[in-house]
């Protein structure tokens, strides 16, 4: 039996509160396949990302081929198959932020932490990502660190904020 | 609830509102929240309570007031005095001087740091004076999280009038008469769209509100959903009645958690009051709305891709025809309109299509919301009559270029649009005028660029966006955007040749003409428009030393 097949047939632990939450949502949506994206949102909120056994569980519950679930997950930017890190730094690269120097912030992050957008540090403490536009254009350039929007920010201030979150110098 | 109950609730809400002498509005749009307005709201409530003023002063959180980069904003009604950059430290001072001493603090008034004499009544400030609020009406004046505040503005009166006094044909005639065009970007006449859906016979029809505002630099829909969600909901219900639909979906971007929260709350409150659901106001019209959350795909703003996404699938577009009006969600006739279009429906029905049709230009009636951003002094959300010139928007409303720079171009329509250079500053902004300049109205993002902006890099930036966001279904878009991006990247790096430039122009036409949906069809627009207006920037790149080096024989 190969690894992929094992993943597909693994049952999730029923006592896990995250599984309970997920199952409650699936039930609320009456196991309807068209609620797939809503259910994926719930799963990602609970787990922080979408582990393969969770996807397999959703596929079984909604009576969908695992390929349909997997292809939907990989289509949308919002969903991630990998852990995004304990702390996240999301740099907005929308047009207003681009005009006002979002790239400089990304460059400084890469210089300081050796991380490019989409990467997570080796100790899983920090994940760096870019957003298309968070809609805070009046506050450009904007960076979201652990769900907290930092408006009209600068490279040095972003680095400092990240340090304060990760608790490292 | 029946019609009389609605009237009673409206009267009660108005009476309660009038019993308070003053109202202090704290802007709690996403931008001001990021600047700390929620703490200001809390502190302000404590301050009012500690002075024993809670019976005469109402403190409410509101949606976006407009000048987003001056936040957090606090507005005193009825004087209409706005204070900017209010924080927990100076809020007590503001309360003392505004409410007790009746002497406003000049240095904290809106735009005090940039205007010689700031205005006590914000409506007199040029930022607001040139605006006309229709879709944004009441946004920034009411608490978006309570239905009672919406009742004080005659909320759901239009729905009630429509249900009791008008036939669906009457509603469609009124919308047609108003000449409103779709505010999502393409500008298709809304009345005609409604009529088409109405004419198809089906036991099930749907209404979809497109809130997948994917253009970077645009935040109009977000602000409307955050600032006045009931208005959009009421517009959807009226549309449902007019076209014969009983179910609506609001598709909102996952990046807008606050908009989702407030819209869901609005649905809950309206449902509780019997304003959506079964037998609305005792009639035999039933209409319910659900929220669908987007998952970060730009292409889902395209209507057929959006429908696929609501069905829980990959958001890839389908060839049209059939149009959604004939065969949309689950194969049923479906009406799709943008958030801003739905927000405009209630004012049109309350004030009449005639009133709306007289605003704007002959071909583009009404007003348009723009999200002003970039190198501009006052960025934020504005609404102006169609036909307002770009100069008025950038210089009179937006206060000119930041840091005393010179205006180089304004980018409209995001990755599907183009740039308007300085020589066209006097263009009267409407759908046709922008198309003539090689741009589009788009959803309303307006990014101002100064002399430092590199237009070739701007074209590369948007092409990178389209390349990443291409869904991959059709070849011209999937491969073409990648090829064009690589060529632009090469030119930006100073390695481009004349052949590259020719190839780029040729490719742009192919991709534009042969792509399946609007994403590919408009992806070359930023490139073509920068080529048209700033060709010398491309030319200077391909004759720079980088190219000469390539031409020299290798030693």
Looking at the structure, give the CATH architecture of the domain made up of residues B456-551. Answer: Up-down Bundle (1.20)
Could you write out the DSSP letters of every residue in B341-360? HHHHHHHHHHH-HHHHHTSB
Residues A37 and A102 in one domain: no
Structure tokens at B274: 């019997």
Average pLDDT over residues A125-153: 89
Q: What angle do CA A143, A149, A155 make, to 5 degrees?
A: 35
Residue A28, chain B, CB below 8 Å: the answer is no
Check pLDDT > 60 for residue A145. Answer: yes
Q: CA–CA separation, B520 vs B416, rounded Å?
A: 9
Residues A64 and A102 in one domain: no
Residue A113 belongs to what domain range? 87-166
B545's CB contacts (< 8 A; 6+ apart) are B494
- CATH numeric code, B155-357: 3.40.50.11540
Residues A71 and A9 in one domain: yes
Structure tokens at B139: 């946004």
Angstrom CA distances, A28 to A39, A73, B193, B207, stand at: 10, 21, 34, 23
| Residue A18 counted as domain residue | yes
Q: What angle do CA B348, B352, B357 make, to 5 degrees?
A: 75
Chosen domain end from A15, A49, A75: A75
Backbone φ and ψ for B209, nearest 5 degrees, come out as -105, 120
Residue B381: its chain A contacts at CB < 8 A? 138
Residues A50 and A102 in one domain: no
Q: Decide if B214 and A132 are in contact by the 8 Å CB cutoff.
A: yes
Q: CA–CA separation, B12 vs B14, rounded Å?
A: 5
B460's CB contacts (< 8 A; 6+ apart) are B485, B488, B489, B492
Chosen domain end from A75, A95, A117: A75
Structure tokens at A106: 């990304």
List the one residue out of A72, A138, A154, A155 whose CA is nearest residue B376.
A138
Check pLDDT > 80 for residue A4. Answer: no
- CATH numeric code, B367-453: 3.10.20.600
Cβ(B292)–Cβ(B249) below 8 Å: yes
Residue A168, chain B, CB below 8 Å: the answer is no
Closest residue in chain B to residue A148, using alpha carbons only: B34
Average pLDDT over residues A23-37: 95
Torsion of CA A77, B413, B261, B468, to 10 degrees: 0
Residues A100 and A126 in one domain: yes
State how many domains chain A has: 2
Residues A107 and A48 in one domain: no
| Residue A108 counted as domain residue | yes
Cβ(A96)–Cβ(A55) below 8 Å: no
B414's CB contacts (< 8 A; 6+ apart) are A95, B214, B215, B216, B217, B218, B442, B443, B445, B462
Q: What is the DSSP letter of B401?
A: B
The alpha-carbon gap from A139 to the nearest alpha carbon of chain B, in Å, equals 6
**Where would I find the H helices in B328-430?**
339-351, 353-357, 390-391
Residue A77: its chain B contacts at CB < 8 A? 295-297
Residue A132, chain B, CB below 8 Å: the answer is yes
Looking at the structure, give the CATH architecture of the domain made up of residues B3-129. Answer: 3-Layer(aba) Sandwich (3.40)
- We report the CATH number of the domain holding residue A158 as 3.40.30.10
| Residue A94 counted as domain residue | yes
pLDDT band at A132 (very low <50, low <70, confident <90, very high): confident
Nearest to A96 among B295, B373, B453 (CB): B373
Domain ranges of chain B: 3-129, 155-357, 367-453, 456-551
To which H or E segment does residue B247 belong?
strand B247-252
Q: Decide if B34 and A137 are in contact by the 8 Å CB cutoff.
A: no
pTM assigned to the model: 0.93
To which H or E segment does residue B133 belong?
none
Residue B411: its chain A contacts at CB < 8 A? 95
Residues A57 and A92 in one domain: no
Residue B254: its chain A contacts at CB < 8 A? 41, 78
pLDDT number for residue A148: 86
In DSSP terms, B450 is beta-bridged to B407
| Residue A80 counted as domain residue | no
Chosen domain end from A23, A48, A75: A75
Q: What is the pLDDT of residues A49-85, one digit of tens each?
A: 999 999 999 999 999 999 999 999 999 999 999 988 8
Residues A14 and A58 in one domain: yes
Mean pLDDT by 10 residues, chain B (555 residues): 93 92 93 92 94 91 94 92 93 89 90 91 94 95 96 96 97 97 92 97 97 91 96 98 98 93 98 96 96 94 96 95 96 97 97 96 95 93 96 96 94 94 96 93 92 94 95 96 97 92 95 96 96 94 56 43
Nearest to A75 among B222, B297, B379 (CB): B297
Angstrom CA distances, B395 to A152, B376, B388, B410, stand at: 22, 9, 12, 12
List the one residue out of B317, B321, B319 whose CA is nearest residue B305.
B317
| Residue A143 counted as domain residue | yes
Q: CA–CA separation, A74 vs A78, rounded Å?
A: 9
**Where would I find the H helices in B244-302?**
257-272
pLDDT number for residue A3: 54
Residue A164, chain B, CB below 8 Å: the answer is no
A2 three-state secondary structure? coil
Residues A49 and A110 in one domain: no
Angstrom CA distances, A150 to A141, A161, B421, stand at: 8, 9, 32
pLDDT number for residue B549: 42
| Residue A82 counted as domain residue | no
Structure tokens at B111: 């735009």
Residue whose entry in the numeric block shows the structure tokens 């679930």: A69
Torsion of CA B269, B273, B279, B281, to 10 degrees: -130
What is the 3-class SS of B460-506, one letter each residue?
A: HHHHHHHHHHCCCCCHHHHHHHHHHHHHHHHHHCCCCCHHHHHHHHH
List the one residue out of B487, B504, B505, B485 whose CA is nearest residue B496.
B487
């Amino acid at each position: 039996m190969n690894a992929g097949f094992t993943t597909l047939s693994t049952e999730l632990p029923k006592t896990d509160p995250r599984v309970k939450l997920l199952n409650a949502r699936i039930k609320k949506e009456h196991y309807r396949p068209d609620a797939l994206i809503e259910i994926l949102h719930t799963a990602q909120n609970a787990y922080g990302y979408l582990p393969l056994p969770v996807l397999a569980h959703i596929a079984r519950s909604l009576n969908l081929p695992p390929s349909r679930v997997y292809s939907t997950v990989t289509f949308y930017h919002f969903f991630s198959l990998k852990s995004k890190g304990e702390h996240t730094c999301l740099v907005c690269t929308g047009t207003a932020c681009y005009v006002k120097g979002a790239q400089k912030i990304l460059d400084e992050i890469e210089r300081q932490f050796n991380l490019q957008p989409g990467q997570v540090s080796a100790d899983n403490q920090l994940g760096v990502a870019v957003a298309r536009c968070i809609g805070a254009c009046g506050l450009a350039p904007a960076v979201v660190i652990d769900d907290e929007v930092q408006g009209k920010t600068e490279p040095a201030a972003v680095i400092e904020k990240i340090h304060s979150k990760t608790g490292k110098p | 609830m029946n019609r009389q109950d609605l009237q009673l609730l409206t009267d009660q809400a108005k009476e309660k509102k009038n019993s308070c002498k003053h109202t202090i509005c704290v802007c709690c749009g996403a931008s001001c929240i990021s600047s700390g307005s929620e703490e200001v709201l809390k502190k302000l409530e404590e301050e009012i309570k500690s002075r024993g003023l809670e019976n005469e002063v109402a403190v409410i959180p509101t949606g976006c007031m407009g000048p987003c980069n001056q936040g957090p904003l606090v507005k005193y009604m009825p004087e209409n005095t706005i204070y900017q950059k209010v924080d927990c430290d100076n809020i007590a001072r503001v309360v003392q001087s505004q409410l007790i001493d009746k002497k406003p603090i000049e240095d904290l008034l809106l735009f005090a740091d940039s205007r010689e004499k700031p205005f006590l009544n914000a409506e007199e400030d040029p930022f607001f004076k040139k605006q006309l609020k229709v879709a944004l009406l009441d946004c920034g004046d009411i608490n978006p999280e309570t239905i009672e505040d919406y009742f004080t503005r005659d909320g759901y009166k239009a729905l009630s009038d429509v249900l009791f006094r008008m036939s669906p044909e009457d509603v469609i005639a009124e919308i047609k008469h108003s000449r409103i065009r779709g505010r999502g970007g393409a500008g298709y006449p809304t009345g005609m769209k409604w009529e088409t859906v109405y004419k198809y016979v089906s036991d099930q029809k749907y209404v979809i509100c497109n809130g997948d505002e994917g253009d970077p630099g645009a935040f109009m829909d977000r602000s409307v959903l955050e600032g006045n969600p009931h208005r959009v909901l009421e517009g959807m219900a009226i549309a449902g009645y007019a076209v014969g639909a009983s179910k609506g979906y609001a598709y909102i971007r996952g990046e807008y958690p606050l908009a989702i929260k407030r819209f869901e709350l609005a649905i809950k409150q309206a449902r509780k009051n019997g304003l959506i659901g079964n037998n609305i106001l005792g009639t035999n019209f039933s209409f319910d709305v659900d929220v669908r959350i987007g998952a970060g795909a730009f292409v889902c703003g395209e209507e057929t891709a959006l429908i696929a996404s609501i069905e829980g699938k990959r958001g890839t577009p389908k060839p049209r025809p059939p149009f959604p009006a004939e065969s949309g969600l689950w194969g049923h006739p479906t009406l799709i309109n943008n958030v801003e279009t739905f927000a405009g429906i209630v004012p049109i029905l309350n004030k009449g299509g005639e009133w709306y049709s007289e605003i704007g230009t002959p071909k583009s009636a009404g007003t348009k919301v723009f999200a002003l951003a970039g190198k501009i002094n006052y960025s934020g959300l504005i609404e102006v009559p169609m036909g307002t010139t770009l100069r008025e928007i950038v210089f009179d409303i937006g206060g000119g270029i930041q840091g005393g720079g010179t205006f180089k171009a304004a980018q409209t329509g995001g990755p599907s649009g183009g740039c308007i250079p300085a020589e066209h500053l006097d263009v009267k902004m409407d759908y046709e005028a922008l198309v003539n300049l090689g741009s589009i109205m788009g959803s309303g993002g307006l990014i101002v660029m100064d002399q430092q902006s590199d237009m070739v890099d701007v074209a590369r930036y948007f092409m990178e966006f389209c390349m990443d966001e291409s869904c991959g279904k059709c070849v011209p878009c999937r491969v073409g955007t990648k090829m064009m991006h690589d060529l632009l990247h090469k030119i930006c790096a100073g390695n481009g040749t004349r052949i590259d430039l020719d190839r780029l122009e040729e490719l742009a036409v192919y991709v534009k003409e042969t792509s399946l949906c609007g994403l590919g069809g408009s992806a070359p627009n930023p490139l073509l428009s920068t080529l048209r207006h700033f060709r010398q920037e491309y030319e200077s790149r391909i004759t720079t030393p980088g190219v000469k080096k390539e031409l020299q024989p290798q030693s």
